[in-house]
Structure 1
Amino acid sequence: MSPADDAARTPAVRPPSLTDRTIEAVREGIRNGTLVPGELYSVYRLADELGVSRSPVRDALLRLAETGMVAFERNRGFRVVVPGARELTEIIAVRLALEVPAAERAAVRATDAARVALHAEHLAMQEAVLAGDETAFMLHDQRLHGLMLDLAGNAHAARIIENLRDATRLVGASTIKQSRSLDDVCREHLPILDAIDDGDPGAAGAAMRRHLESTGKLLLRGAVGGQDTSLWEDLVDPVSGPDRPVTG
Protein backbone atom coordinates (compact mmCIF):
# COMPACT_ATOMS: atom_id res chain seq x y z
CA MET A 1 0.00 0.00 0.00
CA SER A 2 1.42 3.38 -0.98
CA PRO A 3 1.87 6.31 1.43
CA ALA A 4 -0.96 8.05 -0.42
CA ASP A 5 -3.25 5.12 0.30
CA ASP A 6 -2.23 5.20 3.98
CA ALA A 7 -3.03 8.89 4.15
CA ALA A 8 -6.40 8.33 2.52
CA ARG A 9 -7.25 5.69 5.11
CA THR A 10 -6.13 7.83 8.07
CA PRO A 11 -9.06 9.83 9.48
CA ALA A 12 -8.48 13.55 9.59
CA VAL A 13 -8.04 14.95 13.09
CA ARG A 14 -10.65 17.60 13.71
CA PRO A 15 -8.99 20.79 14.93
CA PRO A 16 -10.40 22.23 18.16
CA SER A 17 -13.31 24.59 17.63
CA LEU A 18 -13.31 28.16 18.92
CA THR A 19 -15.57 26.99 21.73
CA ASP A 20 -13.14 24.18 22.65
CA ARG A 21 -10.24 26.62 22.61
CA THR A 22 -12.15 29.06 24.79
CA ILE A 23 -13.00 26.33 27.30
CA GLU A 24 -9.34 25.40 27.56
CA ALA A 25 -8.34 29.06 27.94
CA VAL A 26 -10.80 29.54 30.81
CA ARG A 27 -9.68 26.35 32.49
CA GLU A 28 -6.03 27.39 32.17
CA GLY A 29 -6.94 30.76 33.68
CA ILE A 30 -8.48 28.97 36.65
CA ARG A 31 -5.43 26.73 37.04
CA ASN A 32 -2.87 29.55 36.96
CA GLY A 33 -4.89 31.98 39.05
CA THR A 34 -5.63 34.51 36.32
CA LEU A 35 -9.35 33.92 36.88
CA VAL A 36 -10.05 34.33 40.59
CA PRO A 37 -13.06 32.74 42.31
CA GLY A 38 -15.71 35.30 43.25
CA GLU A 39 -14.56 38.03 40.87
CA LEU A 40 -17.05 39.24 38.25
CA TYR A 41 -15.76 38.91 34.68
CA SER A 42 -17.15 40.31 31.46
CA VAL A 43 -17.99 37.98 28.58
CA TYR A 44 -17.19 40.81 26.18
CA ARG A 45 -13.77 41.47 27.70
CA LEU A 46 -12.91 37.77 27.70
CA ALA A 47 -13.84 37.56 24.02
CA ASP A 48 -11.60 40.55 23.25
CA GLU A 49 -8.69 39.07 25.22
CA LEU A 50 -9.00 35.75 23.39
CA GLY A 51 -9.47 37.41 20.02
CA VAL A 52 -12.75 35.62 19.26
CA SER A 53 -16.37 36.60 18.90
CA ARG A 54 -18.77 36.54 21.85
CA SER A 55 -20.70 33.55 20.52
CA PRO A 56 -18.04 30.85 21.17
CA VAL A 57 -17.27 32.47 24.53
CA ARG A 58 -20.91 32.20 25.58
CA ASP A 59 -21.05 28.60 24.35
CA ALA A 60 -17.89 27.75 26.27
CA LEU A 61 -19.12 29.35 29.46
CA LEU A 62 -22.47 27.57 29.18
CA ARG A 63 -20.66 24.24 28.96
CA LEU A 64 -18.45 25.13 31.93
CA ALA A 65 -21.54 26.24 33.87
CA GLU A 66 -22.95 22.74 33.39
CA THR A 67 -19.91 21.38 35.28
CA GLY A 68 -20.38 23.94 38.07
CA MET A 69 -17.09 25.72 37.37
CA VAL A 70 -18.66 29.09 36.50
CA ALA A 71 -21.96 30.83 37.18
CA PHE A 72 -23.65 33.57 35.15
CA GLU A 73 -25.07 36.78 36.57
CA ARG A 74 -27.80 38.15 34.31
CA ASN A 75 -26.64 41.11 32.23
CA ARG A 76 -23.45 41.39 34.32
CA GLY A 77 -21.03 38.59 33.45
CA PHE A 78 -19.81 35.42 35.10
CA ARG A 79 -17.91 34.28 38.16
CA VAL A 80 -15.64 31.30 38.83
CA VAL A 81 -17.37 29.18 41.47
CA VAL A 82 -15.65 27.51 44.42
CA PRO A 83 -17.32 24.14 45.08
CA GLY A 84 -18.98 23.75 48.47
CA ALA A 85 -19.02 20.63 50.62
CA ARG A 86 -21.93 19.05 48.77
CA GLU A 87 -20.43 19.80 45.34
CA LEU A 88 -17.08 18.34 46.40
CA THR A 89 -18.74 15.17 47.63
CA GLU A 90 -20.74 14.85 44.41
CA ILE A 91 -17.53 15.33 42.39
CA ILE A 92 -15.79 12.50 44.25
CA ALA A 93 -18.87 10.31 43.82
CA VAL A 94 -18.69 10.86 40.04
CA ARG A 95 -14.95 10.19 40.01
CA LEU A 96 -15.47 6.94 41.90
CA ALA A 97 -18.20 5.91 39.46
CA LEU A 98 -15.95 6.57 36.45
CA GLU A 99 -12.37 5.98 37.57
CA VAL A 100 -12.76 2.75 39.55
CA PRO A 101 -14.12 0.79 36.55
CA ALA A 102 -11.60 2.60 34.33
CA ALA A 103 -8.75 1.27 36.48
CA GLU A 104 -10.26 -2.20 36.25
CA ARG A 105 -10.46 -2.00 32.46
CA ALA A 106 -6.92 -0.57 32.29
CA ALA A 107 -5.64 -3.67 34.09
CA VAL A 108 -7.21 -5.83 31.39
CA ARG A 109 -6.35 -3.70 28.37
CA ALA A 110 -2.89 -2.32 29.17
CA THR A 111 -0.16 -3.17 26.68
CA ASP A 112 3.53 -3.17 27.52
CA ALA A 113 3.80 0.28 25.94
CA ALA A 114 0.90 1.56 28.04
CA ARG A 115 2.49 0.24 31.23
CA VAL A 116 5.73 1.98 30.32
CA ALA A 117 3.84 5.25 29.82
CA LEU A 118 2.05 4.89 33.17
CA HIS A 119 5.30 4.26 35.02
CA ALA A 120 6.96 7.18 33.23
CA GLU A 121 4.32 9.54 34.63
CA HIS A 122 4.68 8.01 38.09
CA LEU A 123 8.46 8.44 37.88
CA ALA A 124 7.92 12.08 36.94
CA MET A 125 5.71 12.41 40.04
CA GLN A 126 8.51 10.97 42.19
CA GLU A 127 10.99 13.42 40.68
CA ALA A 128 8.60 16.28 41.45
CA VAL A 129 8.41 15.05 45.05
CA LEU A 130 12.20 15.26 45.35
CA ALA A 131 12.16 18.73 43.78
CA GLY A 132 9.28 19.91 45.98
CA ASP A 133 7.48 21.00 42.82
CA GLU A 134 3.75 20.68 43.54
CA THR A 135 2.72 22.16 40.18
CA ALA A 136 4.71 19.58 38.21
CA PHE A 137 3.51 16.85 40.54
CA MET A 138 -0.16 17.65 39.94
CA LEU A 139 0.41 17.85 36.18
CA HIS A 140 1.88 14.33 36.06
CA ASP A 141 -0.75 13.07 38.52
CA GLN A 142 -3.45 14.29 36.14
CA ARG A 143 -1.68 12.74 33.16
CA LEU A 144 -1.41 9.40 34.97
CA HIS A 145 -5.14 9.34 35.67
CA GLY A 146 -5.79 10.45 32.09
CA LEU A 147 -3.77 7.55 30.69
CA MET A 148 -5.85 5.09 32.70
CA LEU A 149 -9.06 6.67 31.44
CA ASP A 150 -7.72 6.50 27.89
CA LEU A 151 -6.98 2.80 28.35
CA ALA A 152 -10.59 2.32 29.41
CA GLY A 153 -11.60 3.66 26.00
CA ASN A 154 -14.01 6.35 27.19
CA ALA A 155 -12.93 9.77 25.90
CA HIS A 156 -16.08 11.43 27.25
CA ALA A 157 -15.32 10.19 30.77
CA ALA A 158 -11.77 11.53 30.45
CA ARG A 159 -13.10 15.02 29.62
CA ILE A 160 -15.55 14.91 32.51
CA ILE A 161 -12.83 13.95 34.99
CA GLU A 162 -10.53 16.68 33.67
CA ASN A 163 -13.23 19.29 34.29
CA LEU A 164 -13.97 17.93 37.76
CA ARG A 165 -10.31 17.99 38.73
CA ASP A 166 -10.07 21.62 37.63
CA ALA A 167 -13.13 22.45 39.75
CA THR A 168 -11.66 20.86 42.88
CA ARG A 169 -8.35 22.68 42.34
CA LEU A 170 -10.18 25.83 43.40
CA VAL A 171 -10.34 24.49 46.96
CA GLY A 172 -6.93 22.86 47.04
CA ALA A 173 -7.64 19.59 45.26
CA SER A 174 -4.20 18.19 45.89
CA THR A 175 -4.91 18.03 49.65
CA ILE A 176 -1.19 18.60 50.09
CA LYS A 177 -0.45 19.83 53.63
CA GLN A 178 -3.88 18.48 54.63
CA SER A 179 -2.64 15.42 56.54
CA ARG A 180 -0.60 14.00 53.66
CA SER A 181 2.47 14.96 51.66
CA LEU A 182 3.36 14.77 47.98
CA ASP A 183 5.18 11.55 48.76
CA ASP A 184 2.06 10.12 50.45
CA VAL A 185 -0.04 10.84 47.36
CA CYS A 186 2.63 9.39 45.10
CA ARG A 187 2.70 6.18 47.13
CA GLU A 188 -1.09 5.86 46.92
CA HIS A 189 -0.73 5.31 43.17
CA LEU A 190 1.70 2.41 43.47
CA PRO A 191 -0.89 -0.29 44.29
CA ILE A 192 -2.91 0.83 41.25
CA LEU A 193 0.09 0.48 38.94
CA ASP A 194 1.13 -2.82 40.53
CA ALA A 195 -2.35 -4.23 39.90
CA ILE A 196 -2.29 -3.04 36.28
CA ASP A 197 1.15 -4.63 35.85
CA ASP A 198 -0.28 -7.88 37.24
CA GLY A 199 -3.37 -7.69 35.03
CA ASP A 200 -5.58 -7.80 38.17
CA PRO A 201 -8.71 -5.69 37.57
CA GLY A 202 -10.18 -6.27 41.03
CA ALA A 203 -7.05 -5.07 42.80
CA ALA A 204 -6.70 -2.09 40.44
CA GLY A 205 -10.26 -0.95 41.10
CA ALA A 206 -9.91 -1.40 44.86
CA ALA A 207 -6.66 0.57 44.94
CA MET A 208 -8.19 3.39 42.89
CA ARG A 209 -11.18 3.47 45.24
CA ARG A 210 -8.92 3.79 48.29
CA HIS A 211 -6.96 6.60 46.65
CA LEU A 212 -10.04 8.59 45.64
CA GLU A 213 -11.76 8.06 48.99
CA SER A 214 -8.66 9.31 50.79
CA THR A 215 -8.66 12.43 48.61
CA GLY A 216 -12.39 12.96 48.92
CA LYS A 217 -12.56 12.69 52.68
CA LEU A 218 -9.70 15.15 53.14
CA LEU A 219 -11.37 17.63 50.78
CA LEU A 220 -14.69 17.31 52.59
CA ARG A 221 -13.13 17.72 56.03
CA GLY A 222 -11.38 20.84 54.82
CA ALA A 223 -14.60 22.23 53.35
CA VAL A 224 -16.72 21.67 56.47
CA GLY A 225 -13.93 22.51 58.90
CA GLY A 226 -14.27 19.32 60.89
CA GLN A 227 -15.04 15.63 60.84
CA ASP A 228 -18.67 15.73 59.67
CA THR A 229 -19.17 12.69 57.41
CA SER A 230 -22.93 12.85 56.88
CA LEU A 231 -22.63 14.11 53.29
CA TRP A 232 -20.14 11.37 52.49
CA GLU A 233 -22.42 8.69 53.89
CA ASP A 234 -25.44 10.07 52.01
CA LEU A 235 -23.82 10.63 48.60
CA VAL A 236 -20.81 8.32 48.35
CA ASP A 237 -21.34 5.41 50.71
CA PRO A 238 -25.09 5.36 51.46
CA VAL A 239 -25.19 1.78 52.73
CA SER A 240 -22.55 2.27 55.42
CA GLY A 241 -22.92 3.64 58.87
CA PRO A 242 -20.42 5.87 60.64
CA ASP A 243 -18.80 2.85 62.31
CA ARG A 244 -18.37 0.77 59.14
CA PRO A 245 -14.75 0.98 57.91
CA VAL A 246 -14.11 1.75 54.28
CA THR A 247 -12.39 -1.32 52.87
CA GLY A 248 -12.13 -0.29 49.20
Structure 2
Amino acid sequence: MTAATSSLQPINTQQVTLTDRTLKAVREGIRTGTLIPGELYSVYRLAEDLGVSRSPVRDALLRLAETGIVNFERNKGFRVVLPGPKELAEMISVRISLEVPAAQRAALNIGNDIENSLQAVYLSMERAALNNDEPLFMNEDQLLHGVILKLADNSYAERVIETLRDAMRLVGASTIKGSRDLGAVLVEHKPIVDAICAGNALEAGRAMSAHLRTTGRVLLADAVKRNNSNLDPDELWERLIN
Protein backbone atom coordinates (compact mmCIF):
# COMPACT_ATOMS: atom_id res chain seq x y z
CA MET A 1 0.00 0.00 0.00
CA THR A 2 1.40 3.39 -0.99
CA ALA A 3 1.59 6.37 1.36
CA ALA A 4 -0.51 9.51 0.94
CA THR A 5 0.86 12.61 -0.80
CA SER A 6 -2.29 14.73 -0.49
CA SER A 7 -0.57 17.29 1.77
CA LEU A 8 1.48 18.54 -1.19
CA GLN A 9 0.20 21.73 -2.83
CA PRO A 10 -1.27 21.48 -6.36
CA ILE A 11 0.89 22.94 -9.11
CA ASN A 12 -0.04 25.90 -11.31
CA THR A 13 -0.36 24.12 -14.66
CA GLN A 14 0.06 27.41 -16.54
CA GLN A 15 3.77 27.30 -15.81
CA VAL A 16 5.91 26.61 -18.88
CA THR A 17 8.20 24.01 -17.34
CA LEU A 18 5.96 21.58 -15.51
CA THR A 19 8.83 19.20 -14.83
CA ASP A 20 10.77 21.92 -13.02
CA ARG A 21 7.67 22.95 -11.07
CA THR A 22 7.01 19.32 -10.15
CA LEU A 23 10.63 18.88 -9.10
CA LYS A 24 10.32 21.93 -6.87
CA ALA A 25 7.11 20.54 -5.32
CA VAL A 26 8.70 17.16 -4.59
CA ARG A 27 11.77 18.80 -3.09
CA GLU A 28 9.55 20.92 -0.87
CA GLY A 29 7.76 17.76 0.23
CA ILE A 30 11.11 16.25 1.21
CA ARG A 31 12.21 19.39 3.04
CA THR A 32 9.01 19.68 5.04
CA GLY A 33 8.83 15.98 5.87
CA THR A 34 5.65 15.39 3.86
CA LEU A 35 7.54 12.79 1.82
CA ILE A 36 9.09 10.42 4.35
CA PRO A 37 12.20 8.32 3.62
CA GLY A 38 11.38 4.64 3.19
CA GLU A 39 7.65 5.10 2.54
CA LEU A 40 6.29 3.77 -0.76
CA TYR A 41 4.57 6.46 -2.86
CA SER A 42 2.50 6.13 -6.02
CA VAL A 43 3.51 8.13 -9.10
CA TYR A 44 -0.15 8.18 -10.15
CA ARG A 45 -1.32 9.46 -6.78
CA LEU A 46 1.41 12.11 -6.67
CA ALA A 47 0.43 13.35 -10.14
CA GLU A 48 -3.21 13.52 -9.06
CA ASP A 49 -2.39 15.40 -5.85
CA LEU A 50 -0.21 17.90 -7.72
CA GLY A 51 -2.82 18.37 -10.44
CA VAL A 52 -0.55 17.42 -13.34
CA SER A 53 -0.11 14.48 -15.70
CA ARG A 54 2.17 11.56 -14.88
CA SER A 55 4.77 12.61 -17.46
CA PRO A 56 6.28 15.63 -15.62
CA VAL A 57 6.11 13.68 -12.35
CA ARG A 58 8.12 10.80 -13.83
CA ASP A 59 10.60 13.21 -15.42
CA ALA A 60 11.10 15.04 -12.11
CA LEU A 61 11.52 11.80 -10.17
CA LEU A 62 14.01 10.48 -12.74
CA ARG A 63 16.12 13.59 -12.22
CA LEU A 64 16.07 12.99 -8.47
CA ALA A 65 16.84 9.29 -9.00
CA GLU A 66 20.03 10.28 -10.85
CA THR A 67 21.32 11.83 -7.62
CA GLY A 68 20.25 8.86 -5.48
CA ILE A 69 17.59 10.73 -3.50
CA VAL A 70 14.76 8.63 -5.02
CA ASN A 71 14.49 4.92 -5.88
CA PHE A 72 11.87 3.42 -8.19
CA GLU A 73 10.27 0.07 -7.45
CA ARG A 74 9.00 -1.64 -10.59
CA ASN A 75 5.20 -1.58 -10.88
CA LYS A 76 4.90 -0.27 -7.32
CA GLY A 77 6.04 3.34 -7.05
CA PHE A 78 8.98 5.19 -5.58
CA ARG A 79 10.68 5.79 -2.24
CA VAL A 80 12.70 8.70 -0.89
CA VAL A 81 16.11 7.28 0.05
CA LEU A 82 17.91 8.03 3.29
CA PRO A 83 21.63 8.38 2.44
CA GLY A 84 24.15 6.37 4.45
CA PRO A 85 27.49 7.70 5.80
CA LYS A 86 29.40 6.86 2.59
CA GLU A 87 26.79 8.54 0.39
CA LEU A 88 26.83 11.56 2.69
CA ALA A 89 30.63 11.81 2.42
CA GLU A 90 30.34 11.72 -1.36
CA MET A 91 27.76 14.50 -1.29
CA ILE A 92 29.98 16.66 0.90
CA SER A 93 32.87 16.09 -1.52
CA VAL A 94 30.76 17.21 -4.48
CA ARG A 95 29.54 20.29 -2.63
CA ILE A 96 33.12 21.32 -1.81
CA SER A 97 34.24 20.79 -5.40
CA LEU A 98 31.40 22.95 -6.74
CA GLU A 99 30.74 25.58 -4.08
CA VAL A 100 34.32 26.66 -3.37
CA PRO A 101 35.03 27.77 -6.97
CA ALA A 102 31.48 29.18 -7.11
CA ALA A 103 32.26 31.45 -4.15
CA GLN A 104 35.44 32.57 -5.90
CA ARG A 105 33.56 33.39 -9.11
CA ALA A 106 30.85 35.13 -7.10
CA ALA A 107 33.46 37.48 -5.63
CA LEU A 108 34.60 38.38 -9.14
CA ASN A 109 31.04 39.06 -10.30
CA ILE A 110 29.79 41.03 -7.30
CA GLY A 111 27.82 44.22 -7.95
CA ASN A 112 25.87 46.64 -5.76
CA ASP A 113 22.49 44.98 -6.26
CA ILE A 114 23.80 41.49 -5.55
CA GLU A 115 25.83 42.76 -2.59
CA ASN A 116 22.68 44.24 -1.09
CA SER A 117 20.80 40.99 -1.70
CA LEU A 118 23.55 38.91 -0.09
CA GLN A 119 23.75 41.20 2.92
CA ALA A 120 19.95 41.18 3.29
CA VAL A 121 19.83 37.37 3.40
CA TYR A 122 22.65 37.29 5.94
CA LEU A 123 20.82 39.80 8.14
CA SER A 124 17.71 37.63 7.94
CA MET A 125 19.81 34.64 9.07
CA GLU A 126 21.13 36.78 11.93
CA ARG A 127 17.60 37.72 13.06
CA ALA A 128 16.51 34.07 12.85
CA ALA A 129 19.50 33.05 14.99
CA LEU A 130 18.68 35.69 17.61
CA ASN A 131 15.07 34.45 17.72
CA ASN A 132 16.19 30.82 17.70
CA ASP A 133 13.96 30.28 14.64
CA GLU A 134 15.58 27.19 13.13
CA PRO A 135 13.18 26.67 10.18
CA LEU A 136 13.61 30.27 9.03
CA PHE A 137 17.37 30.10 9.60
CA MET A 138 17.72 26.95 7.49
CA ASN A 139 15.63 28.45 4.69
CA GLU A 140 17.73 31.62 4.66
CA ASP A 141 20.91 29.51 4.83
CA GLN A 142 19.82 27.68 1.69
CA LEU A 143 18.86 30.97 0.04
CA LEU A 144 22.28 32.48 0.82
CA HIS A 145 24.08 29.58 -0.84
CA GLY A 146 21.64 29.88 -3.75
CA VAL A 147 22.44 33.58 -4.24
CA ILE A 148 26.16 32.76 -4.31
CA LEU A 149 25.65 29.99 -6.88
CA LYS A 150 23.47 32.24 -9.01
CA LEU A 151 26.12 34.95 -8.85
CA ALA A 152 28.67 32.39 -10.06
CA ASP A 153 26.44 32.00 -13.15
CA ASN A 154 26.39 28.19 -13.25
CA SER A 155 22.80 26.95 -13.42
CA TYR A 156 23.86 23.29 -13.53
CA ALA A 157 25.80 23.65 -10.27
CA GLU A 158 22.76 25.38 -8.77
CA ARG A 159 20.52 22.40 -9.56
CA VAL A 160 23.02 19.82 -8.36
CA ILE A 161 23.69 21.61 -5.07
CA GLU A 162 19.99 22.16 -4.40
CA THR A 163 19.33 18.43 -4.75
CA LEU A 164 22.34 17.51 -2.61
CA ARG A 165 21.21 19.87 0.15
CA ASP A 166 17.77 18.24 0.11
CA ALA A 167 19.36 14.79 0.38
CA MET A 168 21.63 15.93 3.20
CA ARG A 169 18.62 17.27 5.11
CA LEU A 170 17.28 13.72 5.22
CA VAL A 171 20.20 12.68 7.41
CA GLY A 172 19.94 15.75 9.61
CA ALA A 173 21.81 18.23 7.46
CA SER A 174 21.19 20.75 10.18
CA THR A 175 23.95 20.18 12.72
CA ILE A 176 22.09 22.49 15.04
CA LYS A 177 20.36 19.93 17.21
CA GLY A 178 23.05 18.92 19.67
CA SER A 179 26.24 19.57 17.72
CA ARG A 180 26.12 23.33 17.11
CA ASP A 181 23.77 26.23 17.73
CA LEU A 182 22.47 28.73 15.18
CA GLY A 183 25.00 31.33 16.24
CA ALA A 184 27.94 29.04 15.52
CA VAL A 185 26.63 28.28 12.02
CA LEU A 186 25.94 31.97 11.40
CA VAL A 187 29.52 32.92 12.30
CA GLU A 188 30.85 30.56 9.62
CA HIS A 189 28.90 32.41 6.92
CA LYS A 190 30.12 35.91 7.78
CA PRO A 191 33.63 35.61 6.28
CA ILE A 192 32.09 34.14 3.12
CA VAL A 193 29.73 37.10 2.71
CA ASP A 194 32.40 39.65 3.64
CA ALA A 195 34.95 38.23 1.18
CA ILE A 196 32.47 38.06 -1.70
CA CYS A 197 31.23 41.59 -1.07
CA ALA A 198 34.84 42.79 -0.96
CA GLY A 199 35.57 41.08 -4.28
CA ASN A 200 38.24 38.90 -2.66
CA ALA A 201 37.99 35.64 -4.61
CA LEU A 202 40.81 33.82 -2.80
CA GLU A 203 39.40 34.53 0.66
CA ALA A 204 35.85 33.73 -0.48
CA GLY A 205 36.99 30.28 -1.59
CA ARG A 206 38.88 29.70 1.64
CA ALA A 207 35.91 30.75 3.78
CA MET A 208 33.48 28.56 1.85
CA SER A 209 35.84 25.59 2.10
CA ALA A 210 36.24 26.08 5.85
CA HIS A 211 32.46 26.27 6.35
CA LEU A 212 31.67 23.18 4.26
CA ARG A 213 34.45 21.13 5.85
CA THR A 214 33.42 22.06 9.39
CA THR A 215 29.78 21.21 8.67
CA GLY A 216 30.75 18.08 6.75
CA ARG A 217 32.84 16.59 9.54
CA VAL A 218 30.08 17.10 12.10
CA LEU A 219 27.44 15.66 9.77
CA LEU A 220 29.53 12.62 8.92
CA ALA A 221 30.31 11.84 12.57
CA ASP A 222 26.61 12.19 13.45
CA ALA A 223 25.57 9.97 10.53
CA VAL A 224 27.98 7.20 11.51
CA LYS A 225 26.74 7.31 15.11
CA ARG A 226 23.07 7.40 14.07
CA ASN A 227 23.50 4.40 11.75
CA ASN A 228 25.38 2.41 14.40
CA SER A 229 27.98 1.94 11.69
CA ASN A 230 31.41 0.44 12.24
CA LEU A 231 32.83 2.89 9.72
CA ASP A 232 35.49 5.30 10.95
CA PRO A 233 34.30 8.83 10.04
CA ASP A 234 37.88 10.13 9.97
CA GLU A 235 38.99 7.35 7.61
CA LEU A 236 35.93 7.95 5.44
CA TRP A 237 36.67 11.67 5.37
CA GLU A 238 40.30 11.17 4.37
CA ARG A 239 39.41 8.62 1.68
CA LEU A 240 36.50 10.43 0.02
CA ILE A 241 37.01 14.13 0.74
CA ASN A 242 40.57 15.15 1.56
TM-score (norm 2): 0.89
* Deviation (angstroms), 1:233: 0.7
Q: Distance in 1 between matches of 2:129 and 2:45?
A: 39
Maintained 8 Å contact 1:175/1:218:
yes
Q: Distance in 2 between matches of 1:186 and 1:74?
A: 44
Matches within 5 A, 1:77-226: 77-225=77-225
- Structure 1 residue 235 and structure 2 residue 240: aligned? yes
RMSD: 1.5
Q: Distance in 2 between matches of 1:114 and 1:17?
A: 26
Q: Distance in 2 between matches of 1:178 and 1:86?
A: 22
Matches within 5 A, 1:45-56: 45-56=45-56
Which 10-residue stretch deviates more, 204-213 or 66-75? 66-75
* Deviation (angstroms), 1:198: 2.5
User: Which one-letter code corresponds to 1:196 in the other structure?
Assistant: I
Maintained 8 Å contact 1:64/1:70:
yes
User: Which one-letter code corresponds to 1:204 in the other structure?
Assistant: A
Closer/same/farther in 2, CA of residues 227 and 184 from structure 1, 3 Å limit: farther
In the other structure, the counterpart of 2:25 is 25
* Deviation (angstroms), 1:159: 1.2
Q: Distance in 2 between matches of 1:202 and 1:18?
A: 39
Maintained 8 Å contact 2:15/2:21:
no
The superposition leaves residues 188-237 of structure 1 with CA deviations (integer Å, 9 ceiling, x where unpaired) of 01111121232211111011000000111111101111863111111110
User: Which one-letter code corresponds to 1:231 in the other structure?
Assistant: L
Matches within 5 A, 1:8-87: 15-87=15-87
4+ residue runs over 3 A deviation: none
Q: Distance in 2 between matches of 1:44 and 1:173?
A: 30
In the other structure, the counterpart of 2:8 is none
Q: Distance in 2 between matches of 1:170 and 1:124?
A: 24
Any stretches of 5+ residues in structure 2 without a counterpart? 1-13, 226-230
1:79 match: secondary structure: strand
Identity of aligned residues (%): 61
Maintained 8 Å contact 1:118/1:144:
yes
Maintained 8 Å contact 1:178/1:218:
no
Q: Distance in 2 between matches of 1:156 and 1:214?
A: 25
The superposition leaves residues 27-63 of structure 1 with CA deviations (integer Å, 9 ceiling, x where unpaired) of 1111111111110011111111112222221111111
Q: Distance in 1 between matches of 2:15 and 2:216?
A: 35
User: Which one-letter code corresponds to 1:235 in the other structure?
Assistant: L
Highest Rg: 1 or 2? 1
* Deviation (angstroms), 1:84: 0.7
Any stretches of 5+ residues in structure 1 without a counterpart? 1-13, 238-248
User: Which one-letter code corresponds to 2:19 in the other structure?
Assistant: T
* Deviation (angstroms), 1:15: 4.4
Which 10-residue stretch deviates more, 64-73 or 195-204? 195-204
* Deviation (angstroms), 1:16: 4.0
1:72 match: secondary structure: strand
